[in-house]
Amino acid sequence: MSHVFPRHTKATLPVAASGDGCYIIDKSGKKYFDGSGGAAVSCLGHSDADVTQAIKNQIDNIAFAHTGFFTTDPAEELADLLIEHAPGGLDRVYFVSGGSEAMEAALKLARQYFLEKGETSRHRVIARRQSYHGNTLGALATGGNQWRREPFSPLMIETSHIAPCYEYRGRREDETAFDYGQRVANELDAEIERLGAENVMAFVAEPVVGATAGAVPPVEGYFKRIREICDKHGILLILDEVMCGMGRTGTLFACEQDGVAPDILCIAKGLGAGYQPIGAMLCTSDIYQAIEDGSGFFQHGHTYIGHPTACAAALAVFRKLTGGVADRVKPMGEKLQAALGEAFGQHPHVGDIRGRGLFRGLEIVEDRATKAPFDPKRGVNKALKKAAFEAGLICYPMGGTIDGVTGDHILLAPPFILEDAQVDEITGKLDTAFRAVF
């Protein structure tokens, strides 16, 4: 009998015993292709010798030093490299242990920024429906996925949610993609006006929506309009790149492809590639200066922020990403998209195949012509996950794609090191799962 408290008490899981490149091998010897990188985490696969050696070297020197007393070389070097490559005016890095922590830090920094400036009424956050920003209470409140929020809603800060930029479901037949993007972006302007700009501190969004909607990219011009609206009202733009950042969508930072830079940006997952738990919040020099010129103290913190071993691992990962590995994402992503299109482009139960780079989603529908989703009671996403796993493919199916209740999708986020033959392996094993379920 296990004493581990699992994610699901009814599940009996195999024991992961070892990793080999893009594969995880369980205790029985069965190999699984990690087609989702866990949850878009394992961008370098599971056996990168350089990263594991960097961890060993750091532990030999010092494993942990509390940031209330010390800084460390790995943290300083990693921060320098991140800012060297970061877009816009991002200038400071606050290291944490994961994506939810990064988002909590971002929300608290946004509030303190306005307090330091004397704009004390600014406290409201606006985000988008069907977004996901983490599972701690502040991050969960900011996210717009009803299924995740509902049990804990009495505990949450009040957040407004506007429409997502979800072209497959939201664009009308009488409008261009650009016009659609402007229309849904302008909902932000309307919501700020309704709340009063003096009460709003931030708008939060994922550049490419991940877990809750399945790799939904924005249309051209959407985020430029969002940036204009934030600037018009003096609102901070917080971009959540926890899942879609660190090269996952084809550029090191996902927002680069939309020609915008945020005031605060959050990363995690691919930053440590699964070798150590780490995340980071990046902010502009203006925000940092407001704290430095004011109280001088960011009223936040966790025990393991800036953990030297985690930073050493992430430093090794980041050097690999910028040393050429991330350059593989765009061409391999195009190959994956083409292969998915060939295999499932005319499938009666695949309504949309979308995404950027090695971040791809397939939206599952009951009727391709009408886009009608399956009845949630059928549990299509769960059945697909089980069938794919049995076939030796780890993927990331989810339900509630459309509104938190209805809709199903599969998210793919394979390691950046995958080869051409493994693209075929993904589509082949997905096809096996589709045949089993449908």
pLDDT, tens digit (0-9, with 9 covering 90-100), for 258-291: 999 999 999 999 999 999 999 999 999 999 999 9
Instruction: Considering only residues 104 and 145, tell me which one the structure prediction assigns the higher pLDDT.
Output: 104
Segment 302-326, tens digit of pLDDT: 999 999 999 999 999 999 999 999 9
Cα–Cα nearest to 362, from 386, 379, 381: 381
- Residue 236 pairs in a beta bridge with 202
The answer to whether residue 1 scores a pLDDT higher than 90 is no
- Structure tokens belonging to residue 355: 């995404």
- Predicted confidence band at 164 (pLDDT cuts at 50, 70, 90)? very high
The answer to whether residue 297 scores a pLDDT higher than 90 is yes
Which pairing describes strands 236-240 and 23-26: parallel, antiparallel, or unpaired? unpaired
Mean predicted confidence (pLDDT) in 120-137: 96
Cα–Cα nearest to 59, from 42, 47, 74: 74
The answer to whether residue 202 scores a pLDDT higher than 90 is yes
pTM score, whole prediction: 0.97
Q: Describe the crossing of helices 308-320 and 73-85 by its angle, rounded to 10 degrees.
A: 40
- Predicted confidence band at 147 (pLDDT cuts at 50, 70, 90)? confident
What pLDDT is attached to residue 146?
A: 82
- Structure tokens belonging to residue 333: 């992503």
Burial class of 42 by CB neighbour count within 10 A (0 to 12, 13 to 18, 19+): buried
Segment 314-362, tens digit of pLDDT: 999 999 999 999 999 999 999 999 999 999 999 999 999 999 999 999 9
What pLDDT is attached to residue 145?
A: 86
- Please give, one letter per residue, the 3-state secondary structure of 224-256: HHHHHHHHHHCCEEEEECCCCCCCCCCCCCHHH
Alpha-carbon separation of residue 185 from 8, 208, 220, 258, 419 (angstroms):
37, 15, 11, 14, 38
What residues have CB less than 8 Å from 207, skipping those under 6 apart?
217, 218, 223, 239, 241, 244, 245, 249, 254, 255, 257, 258
What pLDDT is attached to residue 163?
A: 97
Rounded Cα distance, 237 and 9, in Å: 39
- Cβ pair 246, 270 in contact under 8 A: yes
Mean predicted confidence (pLDDT) in 129-157: 91
Of the candidate ranges 9-13, 27-31, 103-107, 199-203, the one whose mean pLDDT is the lowest: 9-13
Alpha-carbon separation of residue 129 from 31, 149, 209, 273 (angstroms):
37, 11, 11, 28
The answer to whether residue 195 scores a pLDDT higher than 90 is yes
Segment 376-401, tens digit of pLDDT: 999 999 999 999 999 999 999 999 99
Cα 138 to chain centroid distance, Å, stands at 16
- Cβ pair 39, 47 in contact under 8 A: no
Alpha-carbon separation of residue 215 from 160, 286, 356 (angstroms):
23, 32, 7
Rounded Cα distance, 44 and 405, in Å: 33
Rounded Cα distance, 248 and 234, in Å: 30
- Predicted confidence band at 84 (pLDDT cuts at 50, 70, 90)? very high
Three-state SS at 80: helix
Percent of all residues in the chain with a pLDDT value above 70, rounded to a whole number: 100
Cα–Cα nearest to 359, from 209, 205, 163: 209
Secondary structure element (H or E) that encloses residue 281, with its range: strand 279-284
Return mean pLDDT, the chain.
97
Segment 14-45, tens digit of pLDDT: 999 999 999 999 999 999 999 999 999 999 99
Mean predicted confidence (pLDDT) in 69-91: 98
